[in-house]
Amino acid sequence: MADYYDILGVPRDAGPEAIKKAYRKLAMKYHPDRNSGSDEAEARFKELSEAYEVLKDPEKRAMYDRFGKAGTKSGGAGGPFQGGFDLHDAIEIFMRDFGGGGGFEEVFGGQGRGGRGRRRSRTRKGENTRVRIPLTLQEVASGVTKRVRVALLDPCEACEGTGSAEGEAGGTCSTCGGRGEERVAQRSVFGQFVSVTTCRSCGGEGSVVRDPCRSCKGEGRTRREREVEVEIPRGVSSENFISLRGKGNVGPRGGPRGDILVLLEIEDDPRFVREGNDLVTDVLVTFSQAALGAEVEVPTVEGSRTLEVPPGIQSGQAIRFRGGGLPDLNGGAQGDLIGRIRVWTPTELTPEQETLFQSLREEEDPVPDSVAEAGGERRGFWSRVREAFTSG
Ligand SMILES: [Zn+2]
Ligand SMILES: [Zn+2]
């Protein structure tokens, strides 16, 4: 097992900010949403989240530094990874610290996990399911409630979810005697040790179905199309998830429902480039508009607005509308609308226009020696915008 510091690629004396930054960068790269279900990326994402969850907490980190992974598992009721650390936990951690939208529940103290600590659950939770929701920029700006169809496993009606033909609970599993676990003595170079694993015969349920239900073959659940309502807050991006806890597949034979993970896919809008909460749009102006100043219409997410172009504006200069961008997911300041000026050169001239340009040429001043001298171009502006975005 790799070292948590190595997993995140940070030195052992890294500060909390460096750890957070390293995790964010790598987690974005290996995010399951960006790797179309690659098992390798999923494993990396889990590994990263686990490492981050320990190293970000000064107490857990100190325990880890002294005792290694064993130190982080002995935290009693509050121990972080009781019952395993799965993709869902990883996604929740990511959402909690970077996602907004969702991830509001307490990650380790929530229901399900706490229950598991007190008493071994006989039923298995249903598998989490994922659903993708495409969103337009307008929907991101306003927030929206979406209804989506999801194929989910529901309790079988014929056997009322028990899996037995007679509708009764199954008999005690003979392999594990109803405990749901198997104890296997194993020999290693360190001596003999006993490992406890989930019973293979009953999958940990402690009981087996003697006369399986015909309609679900003893599973206790059948697939059905369901309509699910998802409330999407304002200002989300493709990096956000929404987790619908306990709304997913039921577990086999009466197991609790898993979760639905809603992945958001913001559709490209050809009019805008999104930079965080800011929207950048190209604004074409003519020579004379750039020289004399003008009022031009620019698109906004909801419609359009008038942009005051000052006389003497240069190609490449930007005009910023405060608050004309997208709302902030976490309730911060609304983004801006940024109009990037591009002077349009006509490709065909009427004889009349040609005459006018000819006489303008006789009158106009020569161009300055450099773009910097022209005064308009704010060099490095776009790279600064990008920097601000990527380091945010
Ligand atoms: Zn059934
Ligand atoms: Zn068993």
Distance 47 CA to ligand 1 centre (A): 38
196 in Cβ contact with 183 (< 8 Å): yes
Distance 288 CA to ligand 2 centre (A): 83
Label the pairing between strands 260-266 and 129-135: parallel
Selected residue with higher pLDDT from 260 and 96? 260
Distance 176 CA to ligand 2 centre (A): 4
Distance 108 CA to ligand 2 centre (A): 28
Could you say which ligand is closest to the alpha carbon of residue 181? 2
pLDDT (tens digit per residue) in 197-238: 888 888 888 888 888 999 999 899 999 999 999 999 999 998
d(CA 336, CA 279): 6
Label the pairing between strands 260-266 and 273-275: unpaired
pLDDT at residue 193 greater than cutoff 90: no
- Residue 230, CA atoms < 13 Å, CB-side half-sphere: 32
Could you say which ligand is closest to the alpha carbon of residue 201? 2
- H helix runs in 236-350, sequence order: 287-292
The one-character DSSP state at 325 is S
Nearest Cα residue to 98 out of 24, 5, 203, 7 = 24
> In this structure, which amino acid lies at residue 23?
Y
Could you say which ligand is closest to the alpha carbon of residue 218? 1
Distance 173 CA to ligand 2 centre (A): 5
pLDDT at residue 287 greater than cutoff 90: yes
Distance 171 CA to ligand 1 centre (A): 16
Could you say which ligand is closest to the alpha carbon of residue 215? 1
Could you say which ligand is closest to the alpha carbon of residue 174? 2
Could you say which ligand is closest to the alpha carbon of residue 203? 2
Distance 160 CA to ligand 1 centre (A): 7
In this structure, of 79-88, 107-116, 138-147, the range with the lowest mean pLDDT score is 107-116
Selected residue with higher pLDDT from 229 and 107? 229
In this structure, of 22-26, 97-101, 248-252, 264-268, the range with the lowest mean pLDDT score is 97-101
Could you say which ligand is closest to the alpha carbon of residue 166? 1
Could you say which ligand is closest to the alpha carbon of residue 207? 2
Q: What is the pTM for the complete model shown?
A: 0.57
Selected residue with higher pLDDT from 391 and 67? 67
Could you say which ligand is closest to the alpha carbon of residue 178? 2
33: alpha, beta or left? (left if phi > 0; alpha if psi -120 to 50) = alpha
Q: Which of 96-110, 131-145, 157-171, 203-217 has the highest mean pLDDT?
A: 131-145
What is the set of domains in the chain, with CATH numbers? Answer: 1-120 (1.10.287.110), 122-154+221-267 (2.60.260.20), 273-391 (2.60.260.20)
Distance 164 CA to ligand 2 centre (A): 17
Distance 175 CA to ligand 1 centre (A): 24
pLDDT for residue 96: 75
pLDDT for residue 188: 65
pLDDT for residue 119: 33
Mean pLDDT of 49-75: 80
Confidence of residue 71 (pLDDT cuts 50, 70, 90): low
Distance 255 CA to ligand 1 centre (A): 14
pLDDT at residue 165 greater than cutoff 60: yes
Could you say which ligand is closest to the alpha carbon of residue 175? 2
Instruction: Dig out the tokens for 68 from the structure.
Output: 């290694």
Distance 215 CA to ligand 2 centre (A): 23
Distance 159 CA to ligand 1 centre (A): 4
Could you say which ligand is closest to the alpha carbon of residue 208? 2
Confidence of residue 42 (pLDDT cuts 50, 70, 90): confident
